[in-house]
Structure 1
Amino acid sequence: MSDDAEKPAVVRTADPAAAPRERWGRRLAERVPGLLLAVAVAAPASVLGAWFPVVGGPVAGVVMGVVVAAVRRPAERFRPGVAAAGRFVLQLAVVLLGCGLSLTQVVEVGGSSLPVMVGTLAACLAAAYVLGRRLGIGRDLRTLIGVGTGVCGASAIAAVTPVIGAASAEVAYAVSTIFLFNIVAVLTFPFLGHLLDMGQQSFGLFAGTAVNDMSSVVASAATYGDEAGQYAVVVKLTRTLLIVPICLWLAAVARRRAAAAPATDSTADPRRAARANVTGLVPWFLVGFLLTALANTVGLVPERAHHGLGVLSVFLITVALSAIGLSTDVRGLRRAGPRPLLLGACLWIVVSVTSLLLQYATTRW
Structure 2
Amino acid sequence: MKLKHLLFWLGLLLSLTPIITSPTALVLGFFISSLGLIPDNLALTKLTKKLLSYSIIGLGFGIPLQQALTVTSHGIGLVMCTILGTLVIGALVARIMGLNSKTGHLIASGTAICGGSAIAAVAPAIEADDNQIGLALGTVFVLNSVALFLFPMIGHLLHLNQATFGTWAAIAIHDTSSVVGAASAYGTEALKTATTLKLARALWIIPVAFLSAFAFRSESRKITIPYFILFYCIAIGIADLLPAGQVIYHGIFAIAKQALVVCLYLIGCGISVERLKQSGPKPFVFGVLLWITISCSSLGWLLTHPV
Please state which band the TM-score falls in when normalised by the shorter chain: 0.5 to 0.7
- Number of equivalent positions: 282
- In structure 2, relative to structure 1, the CA distance for the partners of 1:185 and 1:145 (3 Å cut) is farther
How has the CA–CA distance of structure 1 residues 336 and 237 changed in structure 2, closer, same or farther, with 3 Å as cutoff?
closer
Please state if 1:350 is matched with 2:293.
Answer: yes
Query: TM-score if structure 2 supplies the norm length?
Result: 0.67
Change (3 A) 1:314 1:115: same
Counterpart-to-counterpart distance in 1, 2:10 and 2:110: 24
Q: Which structure has the bigger radius of gyration?
A: 1
Normalised to the residue count of structure 1, the TM-score between the two structures is 0.59
Cα distance, 1:289 vs structure 2: 3.5
Distance (whole Å) between structure 2 residues aligned to residue 295 and residue 214 of structure 1? 17
Judge conservation of contact 1:94–1:159 (CA < 8 Å) in 2.
no
Deviation sequence 1:35-74 (CA, Å, 0-9, x none): x97x964752674796563625346435643x245xx998
- Letter of the 1:157 partner, please give it: G
Contact 2:79 2:171 in 1 (8 A): yes
Q: How does 1:336-347 map to 2 (within 5 A)?
A: 336-347=279-290
Aligned match of 2:198: 240
**What is aligned with 2:127?**
none
What are the superposed Cα offsets for residues 121-164 of structure 1, whole Å, 9 maximum, x if unpaired? 33333333333444455566545654554445xxx425643663
Q: Does 2:281 align with 1:334? A: no
Q: Does 1:187 align with 2:153?
A: yes
Residues 187 and 142 (structure 1), Cα distance of their counterparts in 2 relative to 1, 3 Å cut:
farther
1:93 aligns with 2:51: yes
**Residues 214 and 95 (structure 1 numbering): CA distance in 2 closer, same or farther, change over 3 Å?**
closer
CA separation of 1:138/1:92 partners in 2, compared to 1, >3 Å: closer, same or farther? farther
Would you say the 8 A contact 1:103–1:293 is kept in 2? no
Q: Does the CA-based 8 Å contact 1:145-1:344 persist in structure 2?
A: yes
Q: For 1:136 and 1:290, how far apart are their aligned partners in 2?
A: 39
**Number of the residue aligned with 1:124:** 86
1:277-319 Cα deviation digits (max 9, x unpaired): 7xx4453xx1233124313431387331122133335424643
Residues 11-54 of structure 1: CA deviation (Å, up to 9, x unaligned): xxxxxxxxxxxxxxxxxxxxx99xx97x9647526747965636
- Tell me which amino acid in the other structure corresponds to 1:171: L
Give the AA of the match of 1:232. Answer: A
In structure 2, the CA distance between the partners of 1:163 and 1:121, relative to structure 1 (3 Å rule), is closer
Q: Hey, what's the Cα distance between the residues in 2 that align with 1:329 and 1:117? A: 33
The residue aligned with 2:238 is 298
1:236 shift after superposition: 0.6
Q: Does the CA-based 8 Å contact 2:51-2:263 persist in structure 1?
A: yes
1:288 aligned residue = 228
Aligned residues of 1:59 and 1:175 also touching (Cα < 8 A)? no
Q: 1:239 to 1:139 in 2, by over 3 A?
A: farther
Cα 1:333–1:183 shift into 2, 3 Å: closer
Gaps of 5+ in 2: 125-129, 243-247
Aligned residue number for residue 309 of structure 1? 256
Matched residue type, 1:319: L
Rounded Cα–Cα distance in structure 2 between residues aligned with 1:160 and 1:294: 26
Asked if the contact 1:110/1:238 (under 8 Å) is kept, the reply is yes
What is the deviation of 1:107?
0.9
- Structure 2 distance, partners of 1:176, 1:297, is 35
Deviations 1:306-363 (A, max 9, x none): 22133335424643663x43xx682x643543334323432232123321444467x4
Q: Which residue of 2 aligns with 1:271?
A: none
Residue 245 of structure 2 is matched in structure 1 by none
Q: Is the 8 A contact 2:91 2:104 kept in 1?
A: yes
Partner of 1:53: 21
Identity %: 16
CA distance in 2, matches of 1:59, 1:334: 18
| Pair 1:164-2:123 in alignment | yes
Q: Structure 2 matches for 1:198-213, cutoff 5 A?
A: 202=164, 205-211=167-173, 213=179
In structure 1, list runs of 5 or more residues that go unmatched: 1-31, 223-228, 261-275
2:266 corresponds to which residue? Answer: 319
- Are the counterparts in 1 of residues 142 and 276 from structure 2 also a CA contact under 8 Å? no
Does structure 2 retain, via aligned residues, the 8 Å contact 1:119–1:354?
no
Q: Per-residue displacement from partner, 1:204-228 (whole Å, max 9, x unpaired)? A: 5445544552332344xx4xxxxxx
* Inter-partner Cα distance in structure 2 for 1:41 and 1:144: 32
Partner AA of 1:349 in structure 2: I
